[in-house]
Amino acid sequence: MTTEEKPRLVRRVARVLVLAGLLGVLCSGAIWYRYFETLPRSPDRKTGRVYPRNMNGIGVYQTKSEKLRLNVLSGSSYAIGVIGILLGIAEEKRWQRSTGSYIPPMPHGWHPK
């Protein structure tokens, strides 16, 4: 891999991670909304929906697997998105340093003629 290909690869990986994080957040939002609309408002031992979740002040009860699904999907989506953003920022800073776009301040007392 050449030195020019590496920054492109890192930028592509960062974009993919950010998009994957965004997609995960949208999916977890859809699941959250479905839970809000369909889950019972009181515990139901027959179905195993005994784990409470506060959804904007309204309590719903879910199974352990439903709780785990939403928690893992939303948490990992945010983490993946943040990693992508940080990777993109780090690569952009490195790229700016390598291209010489940083211009140091002029020495004190220097004036153009």
Print pLDDT tens along the chain (113 aa): 666 677 788 889 999 999 999 999 999 999 999 999 999 999 999 999 999 999 989 999 999 999 999 999 999 999 999 999 999 998 887 766 555 555 666 677 766 66
Beta strands in 1-113, from DSSP E residues, in sequence order? 51-55, 58-62
| pLDDT value at residue 99 | 57
| pLDDT value at residue 24 | 97
Alpha-carbon distance values, 28 to 6, 49, 75 (Å): 33, 19, 9
| pLDDT value at residue 86 | 94
Q: Which of 22, 32, 5 is nearest to 91 (CA)?
A: 5
| pLDDT value at residue 102 | 57
